[in-house]
Structure 1
């Protein structure tokens, strides 16, 4: 049962990355766990027109990248995410360093932080602090769309790195669910200071009647 849960969590992470149930964005592919803020280079104006994305230097784009870390000297990056009705977000997890800020554009999102679930509706902001287990989902009947913002960590390159891992594994005839894929995924999680609590996922899906794919 635990192996099945692990595979479910890994599958959902991959779906989240490629945008099957969600639309995600990425940042600088040359990521470290925590980006050092540098003000040696003045910032330039950046315009991301509606419906466009900001790709990594190697052309990778995990979903719909918007403001990237390299646009802000490592101070900030963000992603836009769309979540279908009755669909789960990522497995419950925590970040050792990263605080996340959500701004809902359309619909509403249910956000779990620790033991508290908050309904975050269009126009609302929500802060998910580091060090606390959290996730989100859409238990409503209409799609939700929101911005996730990441200050002082190039976390969105996590998704791009995961795509690169998947591409490399495909060339070997492997998947992210293979032993090698799981090892690479675990190393990536460690690099970005992220810990997943896979055993909490199935009860959450059952309680709120959520889909993952």
Structure 2
């Protein structure tokens, strides 16, 4: 997932299975099953599967409203990329930084 922030919502990831890696501001953290990771509004963050097994998590975003962005992204023909996604995300109070995402992806050998 690209490095991003929300201006209106807090985000929580409850790890159900596997190992979550996350960048929260300047801090890199890892969480195993049973751990709750808090990503407050206004904080740059991203997360990834940091283990060899599948990662399953319960994602909670509060208050509601950001789910409309996810619905928009899932619409047929809704192909967004580094040039078009930032403008769409901004309409939902979000910022996306693809340039800052690449060093994180390279460091952890992540594939999109």
Paired residues for 1:152-163 under 5 Å:
152-163=63-74
Tell me, in whole angstroms, the C-alpha distance in 2 between the residues paired with 1:140 and 1:152: 30
User: How do 1:169-208 residues align onto structure 2 when only pairs under 5 Å count?
Assistant: 175-177=79-81, 182=84, 185-208=85-108
> Which structure ranks higher in relative contact order (CA pairs < 8 Å, sequence separation ≥ 6)?
2
**Could you say if the C-alpha distance between residues 150 and 176 of structure 1 is closer, same or farther in structure 2, counting changes exceeding 3 Å?**
closer
Does residue 119 (structure 1) correspond to residue 30 (structure 2)? The answer is yes
More helix per residue = 1
- Distance in 1 (alpha carbons) for counterparts of 2:25 and 2:6: 13
* Structure 1 vs Structure 2 CA RMSD: 1.7
**TM-score, normalised on structure 1?**
0.49
Supply the distance in 2 between the matched residues of 1:208 and 1:121 (Cα, whole angstroms).
17
Structure 1 counterpart of 2:45: 134
* 1:118 CA displacement: 1.1
User: Is the 2:16–2:58 Cα contact (8 Å) retained in structure 1?
Assistant: yes
Q: Which runs of 4+ in 1 moved over 6 A?
A: none
Pairs aligned (count):
111
Unaligned runs of 5+ in 1: 1-89, 170-174
Higher strand fraction: Structure 1 or Structure 2?
2
- Cα distance in structure 2, aligned partners of 1:162 and 1:192: 12
Structure 2: stretches of 5+ with no match in the other structure: none
In the alignment, what sits opposite 2:21?
110
